[in-house]
Structure 1
Amino acid sequence: MLPYPQIDPVAIALGPLKIHWYGLMYLIGIGGAWWLASRRVNAFAPSWNKDKLSDMVFWVAMGVILGGRLGYVLFYDLAAYIAEPAKMLRIWEGGMSFHGGFIGVMLASWWFGKRNGKSFFELMDFIAPLVPIGLGAGRIGNFINAELWGKATDLPWAMVFPTDPQQLARHPSQLYQFALEGLALFAILWFYSRKPRPTMAVSGMFALSYGVFRFIVEFVRVPDTQLGYLAGGWLTMGQVLSVPMILVGIGLIWFAYHRQAAQGAAR
C-alpha cells in the first residue's frame, strides 16, 4: 500500500483569501490550452490574432466552468442544490461534471464559430486536442481534494484517503483518470491530428476515446453516494453518460471518412 501524500487543498492563504489547488488546476488547464492553441492557430486560422484566440479560449473556458457545474447539479445531485442553492458557487469544493462541461464547450464553440467564420466541427476539431490538458489537471485537483476515490483493493499501489470514513485501502482512481483522460488522450489526439483529417474525425476520436476511458475507469471508481449504481446495480451515471459519447464518436469518424471517400469518387 502506498501512503497518501497529505496535501493541503488550500494552496495559498492570505488572511481570509484562500486559493485552492482545485481552482489552480483549472487555471493550469486553461493556460495550457491557450499555449497549445497559440502554437497551432496559424495552420487553423492564419488570420486570427492573439486577441481572437484569447476570446475563443475565454468562451470555451466559460463553457467548461458553467456547463461543468450545471451538469453536476442536474446529473448528479439536483436535490441537494435545490435545498441549498448557495452550494452552486462553491466550485472549490468539487462537484463538476465532465459531460456537462463538454456540452458547455459545444455550445460555446457553436456560438463562437458562427461569429468567426468557422463551422461547428471545424472549431471542435481544433479544440479537441487542447481539452486533455484541463482534464488531466482537474484529476490532479480531485486527488489533492481526496475525492472521487475508487473501490477497496489489495493492490500494492492502493491508498487510504483521509476523506474516507471507512479508511479502506482503495484504488487511486483519480490517478488512473489522469493517466487515461489526461496523458493517453492527449497523446492519441496530438498524434492523430498531426496529419490532415476529414472534418469531424478529430472530434469523433475525442468522443470515442474519452468515452471508452471513462467507461473503463468507472468499474473501479466508487459512484456518487447520492446516486449509487444504476441499471440493475452495476452501471454508474458516468458510464451511462459515456455510452452516447462512444456511439457518437464512432458515428462521426465513420461519417467523416465516408463523406471524404464519396467526395473523392465524385471528382
Structure 2
Amino acid sequence: MNLAAIPSPTQSVWHLGPLPLRAYAVCIILGIVAACVVTEYRMRARGAPKSLVLDLAVWAVPAGIIGARIYHVITSPEAYFGADGDPVRALYIWEGGLGVWGSVLGGAVGAWIACRRLGIPLSFVAACLAPGLPLAQGIGRLGNWFNNELYGGATTLPWGLKVYEFDTASGKAVETATGEPSVLGTYHPAFLYELVWDFGVALLVWQLDKRFRFGKGKAFAVYVMAYCVGRFWIELMRTDPANHILGMRLNNWTAIVVFLGALIYFLRVKGPQEYLRVDEDGTITVIPAPGSPASAETGTGPEAAIETATDTDTDDDAEVADEPDDEPDGVDLSKEPDESGDEPDTGDSEPAQSRPGT
C-alpha cells in the first residue's frame, strides 16, 4: 500500500433535510461564479456597463450545462442506451458526466443569443471570458475528486490517488463487510493534472492578452489551443470507458480538430482589441481599444482627443491674430504735450487712465 497517496472523499452528497447537497454540483457552481467574476472585471475594464456578465450568464450557463450533458451522453451512450442502460439516467447530471467540448459549444450558442439581444459582438465576450473559463474548469474538476472518478493508470508515486469503489447514486463509497470503504487501488490523479493545467492556461491567457492585446476574440483561441494540448495528453492517461476511433479515444480526436480550428482562427482573423462605449441613452457602441492604430484613425482614442485639442488651440490663436489692434490709428505719440500738460488729442474721449499702456 502506498502510504503517501492522496486520499479521496468517501462521501459526495450531504442532506440538508430533504435537500441533497452534492459536491459535484457545488464545484460546478463555484467554477461558474469564478468565471463570472473574472469576466465581469475584464468587461468593466473595457468599458462595459456594470453587471453585463449576468445578462450573458442567464443564457450561456444553462445552454453550456445542457450542451455538456448532451455531448457526454452522445459519446458514452452505453450506460444509458446499452443492453443494461437506463435512458432516464441521462438526466441525472449530479452523478457526473459533463463533456467540456459540449459545454463550450452550448455556452457559445447561449452567449451568441445573449449578444444578439444586447447588441454586442460575441468576440468581445469571448475575449473577456478567455481566462475565466479554464479557471472554472479547474474548479469544476474537484467534483470528479469527490465522485472518485477521472483517474489514470495504477501508480506507486507519492502523488498517487487512492480511489474507492463508489456509488454515485447514493454519493458514498461502497463498504466492505467490516464497514470500511472498499479501495480499488492507487492511480494517477488525472483530474488533478487537468486542474493544474487549467489554472496554468488561465494564467497564460491572461498574461499573453495583457502583453499583446489580442483583438477579435483571439484570446479565446489561445485558451482553446492551450487547453487542447493539455487535454490531449491527459486523455491518454485515462482508463475509464470511452469510444475509440482508429485506436485513440474520441476526446483525443476532438482535441486535435478543435486545436486546428482555433489555430486557423488565430492566424487568419485580424483586428484591434474591442472596447465598449455606453452613451447617455444606454446605447452600446463597439470601439477600438484606446492606443490602437484603429482608435486614432476612427477618432475614438486619446490620440484623437489630443489632436482635436491641438487643432482647437491653433484655430483660437489664428482668431486672436486676426483681431484688430486696440490702439487707435493716426495717433502721433512723438508729439509733445501742450503747455497745459494735457495729452495730445487723439480723438478718443475715454479717460487716459483706462487706455492700454497707461
TM above 0.5, yes or no, is yes
Contact 1:154 1:169 in 2 (8 A): yes
Change (3 A) 1:166 1:237: farther
Change (3 A) 1:226 1:237: closer
Q: Which runs of 5+ in 2 are unaligned?
A: 167-181, 273-292, 298-358
Q: 1:39 & 1:200 partners in 2: Cα distance?
A: 17
Give the share of equivalent positions with the same residue, in percent.
24
1:49 equivalent in alignment to 2:62: no
* Deviates further, 1-10 or 118-127: 1-10
Structure with bigger strand share is: 2
Relative to the length of structure 1, the TM-score reads: 0.86
Cα offsets for 1:124-147 (capped at 9, x unmatched): 122222101220111111011110
Q: 1:78 & 1:6 partners in 2: Cα distance?
A: 27
The two structures, once aligned, show a CA RMSD in angstroms of 2.5
Q: Which runs of 4+ in 1 moved over 6 A?
A: none
Q: 1:80 & 1:244 partners in 2: Cα distance?
A: 27
**Matched residue SS, 1:167:** strand
Contact 1:33 1:134 in 2 (8 A): yes
Change (3 A) 1:166 1:243: farther
Q: 2:46 & 2:54 partners in 1: Cα distance?
A: 15
1:62 equivalent in alignment to 2:62: yes
Aligned partner of 2:98: which letter?
M
* Deviates further, 98-107 or 155-164: 155-164
2:304 alignment counterpart: none
2:249 alignment counterpart: 236
1:5 alignment counterpart: 7
Q: 2:183 & 2:242 partners in 1: Cα distance?
A: 17
Q: CA deviation at 1:120?
A: 2.4
1:212 pairs with one of 216, 220, 229: 229
**Matched residue SS, 2:210:** coil
2:35 alignment counterpart: 33
Decide which structure has the larger Cα Rg and report it.
Answer: 2
Aligned partner of 2:101: which letter?
H
**Matched residue SS, 1:19:** strand
Change (3 A) 1:89 1:45: farther
Aligned residues, how many? 256
Q: Which runs of 5+ in 1 are unaligned?
A: none
Contact 1:135 1:178 in 2 (8 A): yes
1:193 alignment counterpart: 209
Q: 2:122 & 2:257 partners in 1: Cα distance?
A: 19
